Amino acid sequence: MTLTRRLMLAVAAAAICGFAAQAKADLKFGVAAEPYPPFTSKDASGKWVGWEVDLMDAVCAQMKEKCELVEVAWDGIIPALTAKQIDVIWSSMSITAERKQTINFTMMYYNTPTVIIGAKTGDTDITPEHLKGKTIGVQVSTIHQKYVEKYYGAGSTIKSYQTQDEANNDLAAGRLDYIQADASALDAFLKTDQGAACCELKGQVPEDKEILGEGVGGGIRKEDTELKAKLDAAIDALAKSGEINKITAKYPDLVGKMILPQ
């Protein structure tokens, strides 16, 4: 091989490596692997879409950062963050005092009420006394699991699921009496053919900020103070410019049903 040929190959290799380094994501945003519409889910092509995905794109553009979305099992998402497999949890995680013992959070970027749904009976009594002997489904490792265990665990059977979809399917099949989750997620289910056929909103549960938290934020490692400041500034700028409202307007079912930063 001639010297000229070697130099050409070396330059080409350097260019390829430089492109790869340039294309590498600056930040990895972790999202729960299971669908959680209308916030995160995959379209027919396998691409992640939804309100939170759109907000992530806007936040990263505001920060001028290249971001990558990484799928992580929900019950392993905090360990993935602390192990530095991802940089931000961006998966409708509620800001709670318990979680703050392990990680930190950005400012709140949305909040919704917590509700219970069940089979169509017209009965909207969701007091613990009334639900004695009933089976309530929740997603594992969520604020809702902790809430129903505290308030309904003494008299009801609590059944946990790896994904919200699994709980929804069991409710529709009659294997559950009730489900508790965020109002926006359950409203999306009730608007599907399956949800509309089987189920109805029963009511909003009484507030308990210690368990239900202060709204949803991005989870970050405690030591990443600079990243927190950048994310907070980006979310705040998008809120003040009206961009978060524009994103929300693309999802009519969410309009008027979320508390957004101002």
Q: State whether 40 and 165 are in the same domain.
A: no
**Could you say which of 196, 212, 228 is where a domain stops?**
212
User: What integer pLDDT is reported at residue 131 of this predicted model?
Assistant: 98
215-250: pLDDT as tens digits: 999 999 999 999 999 999 999 999 999 999 999 999
Q: State whether 149 and 179 are in the same domain.
A: yes
Residue 13 has pLDDT above 90, yes or no: no
Residue 148 has pLDDT above 80, yes or no: yes
User: What integer pLDDT is reported at residue 117 of this predicted model?
Assistant: 98
Q: What is the arithmetic mean of pLDDT over 136-159? A: 97
CB proximity list for 47: less than 8 A, separation 6 or greater: none
- CATH at residue 128: 3.40.190.10
Tokens linked to 3: 């010297």
Q: State whether 85 and 32 are in the same domain.
A: yes
Mean pLDDT score across all residues of the chain: 92
User: What integer pLDDT is reported at residue 142 of this predicted model?
Assistant: 95
Q: State whether 103 and 172 are in the same domain.
A: no
Residue 1 has pLDDT above 70, yes or no: no
pTM over 0.85: no
Q: State whether 180 and 201 are in the same domain.
A: yes
Domain contains 3: no
Domain contains 16: no
DSSP β-ladder status, 67-72 and 41-42: unpaired
Residue 9 has pLDDT above 90, yes or no: no
Query: For the chain, what is the total number of helices (H) and then of strands (E)?
Result: 11, 12
Q: How far is CA 183 from CA 60, 118, 188, 253, in A?
A: 27, 13, 9, 11
17-72: pLDDT as tens digits: 444 334 577 999 999 999 999 999 999 999 999 999 999 999 999 999 999 999 99
DSSP state of 135: E
Q: What is the arithmetic mean of pLDDT over 196-222? A: 96
Residue 8 has pLDDT above 80, yes or no: no
Q: State whether 133 and 182 are in the same domain.
A: yes
Number of domains the chain is built from = 2
93-124: pLDDT as tens digits: 999 999 999 999 999 999 999 999 999 999 99
- CA pair distance 215, 194, nearest whole angstrom: 28
Domain contains 85: yes
DSSP β-ladder status, 178-182 and 157-161: unpaired
Residue 152's domain spans which residues? 114-212
User: How would you label 48-86 residue by residue, b for 16+ Cβ within 10 Å and e otherwise?
Assistant: bbbbbbbbbebbbebbebebebbebebeebbebbeeeeb
User: What integer pLDDT is reported at residue 186 of this predicted model?
Assistant: 95
